[in-house]
Structures are given as C-alpha cells and as structure tokens.
Structure 1
C-alpha cells in the first residue's frame, strides 16, 4: 500500500531569513521542498495552509461565476458585457496565482521570489480589470464621456505596469531594508487602487444632485471599500501576531485575515458592479460610449504581456544576483 510522508515542520530558527514572516515563530516548511512536498503540505497544518485555502476555494467560486456568464446566450457578442468578463477573469487569476505562490514558494530562494513576482503581476492585472469595469459601469453620470473618463483605462494600463515593476523590485531590498521593501510594496498596490476608486469615491462622498448615479449599489460599494481598507491595514500592520508573537502562527495571523478580507472585498465589488451594470444599462447605452474590444480585452492582454516581460526581467536579475551566505541554526 502506498503511503505519503508529510513534510517536516520547522521553526523560524531553522529556515533562512528570506523565508521569515514577521512575528511568526513556528509552522515553516523546508526551504528546499520538492513540488510533491509542497502539494502534500496543503493537507497538514503549517503557517501557510490557510493562506492557500482561503484563495484556492474562492478561485473556484469566481470561475463558476464567469462560466455562468459565458453560458448566457450572446454574452460573448455583447460589447456591454466585455468589461465584466475581463473583470471576472482578473478575479479568477489573482487568487489562483496567490494559491500557487504560497504553495510552491518554499522550493528554493529563487522560486520564492519568482512565485511572488507572478502573484504581484496578477494583483496588478486585477486592479486593471477593476478599472475597466469601473470605466464601463461605475462612473457618475456627470463624468461620463469626460476627458478623464476617455483616458481612464489607458492611465490604468500604465498604473498596472508601474505596480508590477515596483512590487517586483520591492523584493530586492527585502533582507537589508525590510521597511523600504514594505513601503514600496504598499505603494505599488495602494496607488492603483486609489486611482481606480476615484469615480467611486466621488459618487460615495462628494457627488450630490440627480446626475450622481445614486442607487442601491452604493451600500455594496461601501462594504467593498471597508474590506479594502481592512485588507491594506492588516498588510501594513501585521496585527494581531505582532502583539503576541507565536500565538497566531497557524490560525488568525494577519496574512490569513488579509486574504479573507481581500476576497470578501472582491465579492462585494463584483456584486456592486453587476448591480450597477443592470440598473444603469439603459442610461449608459444611451449616453456613454460602447466598450470596445481594444479598450477591454485588448488593454488587459497588453498589460499582461508587459507584466510578464517585467517579471521575466526581474526573475533573470534575481537568478543572477550574487548569493549572500545564510546562517541557519538547526536542532
């Protein structure tokens, strides 16, 4: 009978510094795991197990949503639905890449960096997918067809490239300058989010009158904004494990909560977008420009290609970076 031996679990003193997580003491996997060991670790409790499952399960949910949309008659031939399709593709890809990154990041030091390069690229593409959907469905009535609206997606493509480049670069000073690395990474993802949310924040907090697109979706948008804030707060603060190192190694640390709140934010964002699309369809078709293939899937694929080239360049630079000797204590 075949038996599978689960990988050994280590503590923070038994792994190189590059694998350390702030205030996490136990539950580390071997930093030279095989691909098989990485997959097997999904079925044992480590400090990464819930990080993986909190994004693996939602991947299937978002995939089901996009398949449901594609199965509806004429969805591929209706330009009004193309921004939603691009957005849902982004929602499928970013948790899937995060799942793969957390699963296989312990195969080697280089593998860890490359896995998270791909994770960062997927997050940047998700931001672009959100911008494309916001451009089509969320802009307040008074901003529709404005110069800002016409250039919104093009600007978001540039933001995606900047976000991918800055977040990938942030891994280089990680060991010698962890604070700089954290600031660069937060900036890389906060800036595109804030830009994408300009039309939404205007609707929520500043716009008044009849041409503001006030409707029932605003409550869903507020929930999305709350979860987005909590996601960023947890990523920046490393709470609650910073208050009690070692207490939240397996369950309840900030990265797990970061994943959960991030997915909840995406869920509310998706529902709000679909509600806006359905409730505002007639007005938008009469007053706004029709989404084009180049401005939706074309823009998204172009940004993905550039991001992949950037990831390849940073991976090459990381692979040829001189290795620094690591001190590791074993027990």
Structure 2
C-alpha cells in the first residue's frame, strides 16, 4: 500500500496541473451576488455515500461537497495522512458530482419514477468535464479520534465556461423522446402578433416549481414541447443557459440581456414531471409560437421563469 501512495498522489496532482488556468474570478463574483430563493439544496445518498449539493438556478452554478478519511495504519505521519485524505475526498467529489448531475439533476428531472441515470457513458463524460472545468473552492481537515476527516467543496457553472450543459443535452434530448414528447406545432395557421416580442417570461408563481438545469414548457397532454431542449440552439444553451429563473416579475423584466426590452408574459397553468417543467394552454402556446416566428427568440434561449 505504501508503495502505491506516491503514484496515487501523482495522478491526483496531474488532474489539476493540466487544468486550464482561466484567470477569471467567476466563482467569487457569483457568490458575491445577492442570494435568491431559486436555490435548491440536496442532502442524501448516492451509491451508498452521503452527499451534499447546492444548486443556484438563477446564477447557474452548483456547489458539491464530499468527505473522506484514511486508515492511519497505512500512513507514515500526520502530514501524509492529511494529504491522502484530501486526495481521496477530491476523487470522491468528482465521481459523485458526476453521478449527482447525471442522475438527480438530469435523470430524475426527466423520469417520473425518479430513478438515477444508469448511462455510465454520460456519467463518464460529465466527470471529465468536471475534472477539466470545476474549481475547488474549499478544503479542510478535521481530526476526530486521531483520524483525519477531509472535506472538499467543488464549484461549477451550468453554462458558458464549464460546458456542463453541452455534455448533458444529448442525454436530455434522448430522455425527452423516450417520454413521447415532440416539438409543438399549432393546430391551424396563425397570424403573427402586432408587437415584436424579444423574449418570453413564464409566470409560474404559486405552482411550487422545482428549478431545473433544462426545463420544458409543454402544452396539450404534456407531450408537445413549446420550449426546451428540442427547440433551443445548442450553442446558445451552452453560452447562456436554457432559461433564467427569477424571484420577481420586475427582476425578470429588467434582465434585458435574457428577455430583451419587450418580452411576452405568459401564465403557467401547472407543473409536470416531478414539478420541474411547466404546462401552458393551447392559446398561449400559439402566441409564443407566432411571436417566435417573427424574432426567433426561443432558439436564443430568451426565456425567463418567475418562481416563488
């Protein structure tokens, strides 16, 4: 075991030595912003291990925390013990964050049975993305009964710099098709609206919405997608995120970078599939479809959702 320790440490160090050095302080900037109610915390069990995660859907980032310890009988001193405990916690954090994202944040969002995603290939791709782009924002070691307990916290953006959405969109599209969902088409010819709309805001207050990394706007018998992974441009989704979440209508309308200066406002009727997605009536679906024909805002992800 002791012979393998230097090799193990070298592998861990290699994961970080060859990471791109962005030079941006995006994590500090995001954390400095006013915290919103569009924050979801998760504390549970994945693969037999306890996990803690926090997802901020308004500012589109996630924190993930994992802990690990070592067998002191295999350690030569306390310094080595702390180093190995941190290394083990880092490995576990990356591996379990990938499972968390692939399962809880993707699989459960698109699966009525709330089962975890079992596509190991998807999990592997997500983990590679995390290793390349996630930031270690905190690590600490506590000694308990003469044994080190290391805790590591990772930070990762959903969109833009980290490419996380780019990795999960294929799996999301596949699961969307498996649910029998297809792009919305109006039942009759429509007349374009008089106003030129620059985006759309869905008012979902009072519906107990659970934010998602890739929500859908549905109509009909919840099998026609007015907006979602089947309608967006992948490039825009990766750059901007599929939607923006807001706590107030004023905040949504003021985000002109997302919804423009003249957004169409639509009232959601109910939630769908574990409360992650929204349903609107046929009339409003037709209004969005017609407005989008004029300005093409859906493919550019110019969609906001107001939640409680």
Q: Indicate the TM-score class for this superposition, using the shorter chain for normalisation.
A: 0.3 to 0.5
Larger relative CO (CA 8 A, sep 6+): 1 or 2? 1
Point out the structure with the larger strand share.
2
Point out the structure with the larger helix share.
1
- When normalised by structure 2's length, the TM-score is 0.32
- When normalised by structure 1's length, the TM-score is 0.30
